[in-house]
Structure 1
Amino acid sequence: MLERDFVGHARTVPLPRWPDGSLVAVNVVVNVEEGAEAAWPDGEGNDSWGEYALPIDPAIRDLGTEGHYEFGSRVGIWRLVRLFERFDVPVTFGVSARALERNPPFAAWLRRSGHDVLGHGYRWAEVSAMTEEQERDDLEHAMRVLPELVGRPVRGWYVRSFPSERTRRLAAAHPDLTYDSDAVNDELPYWTEVDGAPWLVVPYSKVYNDTRYFLAPTYATPRHFAETLIGAAGFLLEEAHDGAGARLMTVGLHPRWSGQAARATAVRDFLAWVAGQPEVTLVHRGQVADWWTEHASP
Structure 2
Amino acid sequence: MSHRLFNPQISRSPLRWPEGRGLAISFVLNIEEGAEHHLSAGDAGNEGVHEVVNALHGVPDFCMETHFEYGARAGYPRIARRFIDAGLPLTLNVCGRALGMTPWVARDALAHHSELCGHGWRWESPAHFSAPEERADIARTCAAIRAHWGRAPAGWHCKSSASAHTRTLLQELGFAYDSNDYGGEVPRLEATPAGAPYVVLPYAFDTNDMRFYQQGGFVHAEDFARYTAAAVDCLLEEARHAPRLLTIGLHTRILGRPARIGALDQILAHIGRRQEETAAIWVATREAIAMHWRELHRHAAPAQ
User: Is contact 1:14–1:296 with CA below 8 Å preserved after alignment?
Assistant: no
1:98-144 per-position Cα deviation (integer Å, ceiling 9, x unaligned): 10101133333233332111111111112113222221111111111
Farther off after superposition, 115-124 or 249-258: 115-124
Give the structure-1-normalised TM-score.
0.93
Gaps in structure 2 of 5+ consecutive residues: none
Q: CA–CA distance in 2 between the matches of 1:238 and 1:105? A: 39
Shift of 1:236: 0.8
Give the 5 Å matches for 1:1-298: 2-7=2-7, 9-13=9-13, 15=15, 17-44=16-43, 45-57=45-57, 59-175=58-174, 177-195=175-193, 197=195, 198-241=197-240, 243=241, 245-278=242-275, 279-297=280-298, 298=302
CA spacing shift, 1:12–1:238, aligned 2, 3 Å: closer
How far does residue 230 in structure 1 lie from its aligned partner after superposition?
Answer: 0.5
Secondary structure of 1:249's aligned partner: strand
- Residues 179, 202 of structure 1: 8 Å contact kept: yes
Cα pair 1:97 1:123 within 8 Å, conserved: yes
Shift of 1:28: 0.2
Question: How far apart are the structure 2 equivalents of 1:147 and 1:280?
Answer: 31
Task: String of CA shifts for 1:242-270, please: whole Å, max 9, x gaps.
Answer: x2x12110000000001111111001110
1:97 offset after TM fit, Å? 1.2
TM-score normalised by length of structure 2: 0.91
Aligned length: 293
Unaligned runs of 5+ residues in structure 1 are: none
Percent identity, aligned pairs only? 32
Q: Contact (CA 8 Å) 2:18, 2:282: kept in 1 or not? A: no
User: CA RMSD for the aligned pairs?
Assistant: 1.7
- Alpha carbons of structure 1 residues 296 and 12: separation in structure 2 relative to 1, 3 Å: farther
For residue 263 of structure 2, give the secondary structure of its aligned residue in structure 1.
Answer: helix
Deviation, structure 1 residue 14: 6.0
